[in-house]
Every structure is written in C-alpha cells, then in structure tokens.
A and B are shown apart, each in its own frame.
Chain A
Amino acid sequence: MKPEPESDFRAKDLIGIGLGLLMLLALSALTVLIPPAPWKTAVGLAIAGVKIALIGVFFMRLNRSKGLVRVFAAAGLFWLAIMATLVSADYLTR
C-alpha cells in the first residue's frame, strides 16, 4: 500500500459542516428560553430537518453519489410518506 500525499486529505469542509450542526443544535436548545407555544415543535422539527439534510448530503455523500443511489435514498422517504399519508387519512377522518 502506497500512501497518497497528505494534501489529498481535506478536513475543513467537514469540520465546517460539523460546526454548523452544533450551531443548529444550540439554536434548537435556545428555543426553551421562549415561553412554550405550539409552533415551537414545528421549529424544532424544521431545525432537525436541516441537520438531517446536511448529514445526508455531506456526511452520507449524497452530493457525490450516482443518480441511482439518490433514488434509493429518496425511495425510503417516499414509502414513509405513503405510510404517513394513509395513517393520517384514517386518523383525521375517523
């Protein structure tokens, strides 16, 4: 095994994403300073959604994946959306 030059190893972008994730967590945690309100859960979940998108795109390398791999990743969310729609339709119309 012949090691490649050190210059091939870049860490700044991943560390930057990591710091962004921690800042989003801090933002989510700081919402406890605001009095309880129904919209706070939506904000918390929206921040979680952004964090998951960052992890998926940069750490799980969806930004550099082949189209078919992205389709597989999206398929999971698609099936989940079908399940959520059917269950919600039953719950909301019962």
Chain B
Amino acid sequence: MNRERHAVTVDLGMWAFLATEMLFFGSLILAYTLYRASYAAAFRAGAREMEFGLGTINTAVLLVSSVCMALADRAVRAGRTRLGFGLLIATGLLGLGFLGIKAFEYHSKAVDHLIPGRHFRAGTSPQLQMFFFLYFAMTGLHALHMILGLGAVAWLIVRLRRGTITPTNAEPLAAVGLYWHFVDCVWVLLYPLFYLPGR
C-alpha cells in the first residue's frame, strides 16, 4: 500500500470511529436537552452552582492543547522532530492541567453536597439532582476520554523518541490528533450547556 493510500485509510478509520463517538456524546446531549426543556428553572439553578471561571479557563487550556497538537503534527512532518516532541509534551501537560482543574471542581461539588445520591444537598429538588447527574455523567465520560487521549499522547512521545514516527511515517500522529481534537470539540459543546445557563 502506498503512503498516500495508507494516510487516507487511517483518516477513514478514525472518522468512522469518531462517528460512533458523535452518536455516543450526541445521545447524552440530547438527554440533557430534553430534561432541560422540562426542568428549565432547576437547570439554571444547577448551572449557577458551577465555577464559571474555572470552566472558562479549562476551555482555554483545551483549545491551546489542540493548537499544540496541530503544530506537533506539522512540525514532525516538516522534519522538526525535536520541536514536535516538545509540542507533544506541552499537549500532554495541558491535558493534565485540564484534568487537575476538573478534579478540583469535582472536589468542590463533593464539599457542597452536589454529588447525586443519598447525601445530595437537603431541601433541593430531584430535578437539580438530574442536572448534576448529567453533569457528572457527561463531564466524567469526557474526562475518561481525556485520560485515554493522554495515554495515546504518551505513546506518541515514546515512538517519536524511538524514531518510529518520522516525517514520512506520521500517520499515528494524525490519528491521535483527530481523536484529541474531537475530545476538545466535545468540551467546547459542554461548556455553554453547563457553565453559561442562568448567568
């Protein structure tokens, strides 16, 4: 198989996988939309409990990580392997930073008794619990995707170090890049759904 054909095959395979991911996250966003249409006031109250500043910073962190990933791909293809290596490390560190901020947010929700279940804040409506159930389900699954993405970025760093990813064999970088950018897109959609309502 020639190089160009191989690159197209990798792209097609990744986009087929991402189409299933679109349906996966799309169904959750659809569930959010229907519940929000039914319980608008509770969802606005839930969104006001969010750390708006941290959510905004986290969105910026992910967007910058996507820039680093796109630049890493281009750098490696141009033969600037060392620069690509540094950009991949920056991508990974930004991803870790995102998860760190997310963990802090989860912790503050636990302290405020906003984790759905028996210890949920007393005197609040079940609809508010539904908002937080969707919040933890959707951002939790997103965080799980981030963790898998970080593993893939680490794999790329090792392969780049070993010299098995080269300017003429950079398809693994393209494949992981597609996944990373997709996960970024999911967060871009979650941000206005969870942090902006009611403000």
Contacts and interface: CB of A to CB of B under 8 A. Distances in A.
B145 interface: no
Q: Which 10 A-B pairs rank lowest in CB-CB distance, beginning with the nearest?
A: A44-B192, A76-B19, A3-B79, A18-B67, A9-B78, A72-B15, A4-B79, A76-B22, A8-B78, A32-B199
Given A1-B163, A45-B192, A80-B23, A87 B34 contact: yes
A41 B197 contact: yes
A89 interface: no
Nearest to B31: A87
Contacts of A69: 8, 11-12, 15
Interface of B: 8, 11-12, 15-16, 18-23, 26-27, 30, 34, 37, 44, 52, 56, 59-60, 63-64, 66-67, 69-71, 74-75, 77-81, 83, 163, 166-167, 174, 177-178, 181-182, 184-185, 188-189, 191-193, 196-199
25 contacts: A9-B74, A14-B71, A18-B63, A22-B64, A40-B197, A40-B199, A41-B193, A48-B192, A51-B63, A55-B66, A55-B184, A55-B188, A56-B181, A68-B12, A69-B8, A72-B16, A76-B15, A76-B18, A79-B19, A80-B26, A83-B30, A84-B26, A87-B30, A91-B34, A91-B37
A80 B198 CA distance: 27
B11 A55 contact: no
Contacts of A73: 15, 18-19
A22 B100 CA distance: 20
Q: How large is the interface on A (under 10, 10 to 19, 20 to 34, 35 or more residues)?
A: 35 or more
B67 A15 contact: yes
Contacts of A18: 63-64, 66-67
Q: Is the interface of A mostly helix, strand, loop or mixed?
A: helix
Interface string A45-78: 1011001100110111100011011001101110
B50 to A, nearest CB: 11
Q: Is the interface of B mostly helix, strand, loop or mixed?
A: helix
A38 B81 CA distance: 49
B70 A58 contact: yes
Contacts of A4: 78-79, 167
Given A6-B78, A8-B78, A59-B181, 19 more contacts: A3-B81, A4-B79, A9-B74, A9-B79, A17-B67, A18-B67, A28-B191, A31-B199, A40-B199, A44-B192, A44-B196, A52-B185, A59-B69, A60-B177, A65-B11, A76-B20, A79-B22, A83-B30, A91-B37
Contacts of B178: 60
A44 B167 CA distance: 39
